[in-house]
């Protein structure tokens, strides 16, 4: 892909995420093109259908999550695992409209699938948290991942507000600690 095409694609994805977050996933593709500063044809060249654009936004989000998880892995703090859990919860909540629109097209976005792609980071963060005494010695990633996924999936599905998301994470964290 040419450099200008890569830049356009990145601008479209950034604009789509902002437009869908503000207006919901039913926002017009024209609004995405306008926000990105490109012609509508440019959007359709990269993303022939709206579901293609929505899927790409989700994949872009996952790529950013992987980058943020990698940064947490480099952080020696044993409590970075808790920061990771907050990151996952907030990422899901911020993209709720996109997930809902994808579900309307028959594409289900499951938090568990994203967490499985992040398993290597989860494993490192969990090992560090266990070694640092921040979590229970017997906690395993194959327990943590489905617990966090279920909590985040319900938060997205039921559109929990920030206070309820925070309270749910506090309860999860209390169960993870020694």
pLDDT for res 47: 95
9-24 pLDDT tens trace:
999 999 998 898 788 7
54-97 pLDDT tens trace:
888 888 888 888 899 999 999 999 999 999 999 999 888 877 76
Statement: residue 109 has pLDDT above 80: no
pLDDT for res 4: 87
pLDDT for res 162: 95
Statement: residue 1 has pLDDT above 70: no
pLDDT for res 156: 86
pTM of the model: 0.79
Statement: residue 155 has pLDDT above 80: yes
Cα 131 from Cα 78, distance rounded (Å)? 8
pLDDT for res 12: 96
Core vs surface per residue 63-86: b (16+ CB within 10 A) or e: eebeebbeebbeeeebebbbbbbe
pLDDT for res 25: 73
Statement: residue 107 has pLDDT above 70: no
156-169 pLDDT tens trace:
889 899 999 999 99
The CA dihedral of 115, 80, 14, 153, to the nearest 10 degrees, is 40
Tokens 């989860």, located at residue: 122
Instruction: Quote the percentage of the chain above a pLDDT of 90.
Output: 61
Computed on alpha carbons and rounded to an integer, the radius of gyration of the chain in Å comes to 18
Cα 178 from Cα 170, distance rounded (Å)? 14
The two tokens of residue 129 are 């948290």
For the segment 36-45, the average pLDDT, to the nearest whole number, is 95
Write a three-state SS string for 89-147.
HHHHHHCHHHHHHHHHCCCCCCHHHHHHHCHHHHHHHHHHHHHCCCCCCCCCHHHHHHH
């Amino acid at each position: 892909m040419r450099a200008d095409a890569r830049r356009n694609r990145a601008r479209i994805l950034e604009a789509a995420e902002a437009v869908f977050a503000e207006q919901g996933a039913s926002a017009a593709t024209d609004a995405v093109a306008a926000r990105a500063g490109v012609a509508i044809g440019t959007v359709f060249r990269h993303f022939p259908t709206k579901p293609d654009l929505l899927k790409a936004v989700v994949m872009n989000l996952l790529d950013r999550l992987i980058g943020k998880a990698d940064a947490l892995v480099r952080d020696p703090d044993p409590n970075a695992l808790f920061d990771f859990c907050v990151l996952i919860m907030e990422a899901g909540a911020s993209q709720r409209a996109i997930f809902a629109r994808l579900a309307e097209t028959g594409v289900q976005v499951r938090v568990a699938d994203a967490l499985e792609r992040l398993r290597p980071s989860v494993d490192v963060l969990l090992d560090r948290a266990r070694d640092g005494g921040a979590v229970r010695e017997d906690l395993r990633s194959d327990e943590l991942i489905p617990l966090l996924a279920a909590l985040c999936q319900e938060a997205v599905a039921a559109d929990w507000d920030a206070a309820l998301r925070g309270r749910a994470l506090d309860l999860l964290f209390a169960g993870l600690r020694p």
